[in-house]
Amino acid sequence: MLHKNDDNNARASASMTSTELAREALPQKLKRKIKRSLGPWGIFIEGFLRNPVMVGSIVPSSRFTINRMLKPVDWANCKLFVEYGPGVGTFCQPVLDRLPRDGMLIVIDTNPLFIEYLRKNISDSRFKAVLGSAADVEEIVKAHGFEKADYVLSGLPFSTLPEGVGPAIAAATHRVIRKGGAFLVYQFTPRARDFMARHFKRIDNGMEAINVPPCFLYWGWKDEDEG
Ligand SMILES: C[S@@+](CC[C@H](N)C(=O)[O-])C[C@H]1O[C@@H](n2cnc3c(N)ncnc32)[C@H](O)[C@@H]1O
């Protein structure tokens, strides 16, 4: 589809000399070259600059955060793992490396730049990248043939999400997780715990210092004896 700006640019380009065109293309070329050399970092920074409030961080999670966050998961009994806000997929490969062969990882992100990047770069058949909001997790899980998720991981910036979105996501997440499963959350502020505590009775707390910035880790368990 040709947008109005593309149309104007095309008209302007038509009246330029070839030298002017070459000069014009140089910053674009340079931008593309820098982006390519930065790899996933470049995409992440671009995603942050385009939408700082929704992304909430300019640096992806460290491997220390990843390993600690995923450690309590019972992988042998994990058929469906859901991740909110995967960004450029910092957690995706570590999750796929631990997931059983017949398991599935569904990631949900509101940013089309990240979803497009993940679809292009992760070719595992157990991986599904969905453009949408975590608030719609129940519909998304059902659309992929599941009733419940075993675990849900969240890197969402709960404290900066639009009014009402955080509580709606916490409630939907509690409903979608099976008994015995858990909601795994990492955040730079302890605020996410308040959203979780309205639904999850048992929450384990942690802190990872080797992360930029250091972050709070929470594991909210949906116990077998819950109503
Ligand atoms: C801090 S970044 C995630 C970083 C990444 N998971 C990592 O470990 O480096 C937060 C992500 O949440 C996404 N996001 C924000 N609101 C969302 C929502 N309602 N549903 C799904 N994703 C959302 C943003 O687009 C962004 O990719």
DSSP letter (8 states) at residue 61: P
Cis bond before residue 72 (omega within 30° of 0)? no
Global confidence as pTM: 0.83
CB of 118 closer than 8 Å to CB of 103:
no
Q: Is the Cβ atom of 158 under 6 angstroms away from ligand 1?
A: no
Q: Bigger pLDDT: 58 or 90?
A: 90
Angle at 75 between CA 73 and CA 81, to 5 degrees: 80
Is the same domain home to 8 and 116? no
Residue 140 lies in a domain: yes
At residue 45, does pLDDT exceed 90? no
Query: Based on the domain organization, do 19 and 116 belong to the same domain?
Result: no
Number of domains in the chain: 2
**Is the predicted pLDDT of residue 7 greater than 50, yes or no?**
no
| CATH code of the domain covering residue 103 | 3.40.50.150
**Residue numbers of the domain that contains 31:** 4-38
My answer on whether 15 and 68 are in the same domain is no
pLDDT tens, residue by residue, 87-120? 999 999 999 999 999 999 999 999 999 999 999 9
Atom of ligand 1 nearest to the CA of 91: 8
Mean per-residue pLDDT, 42-67 = 76
Please state the atom number of ligand 1 nearest to the C-alpha of residue 87. 27
Residue 52 is assigned to a structural domain of this protein: no
Query: Does any domain span residue 197?
Result: yes
Q: Is the CB of 156 under 6 A from ligand 1?
A: yes
45 falls within a domain? no
Model pLDDT, residue 43:
73
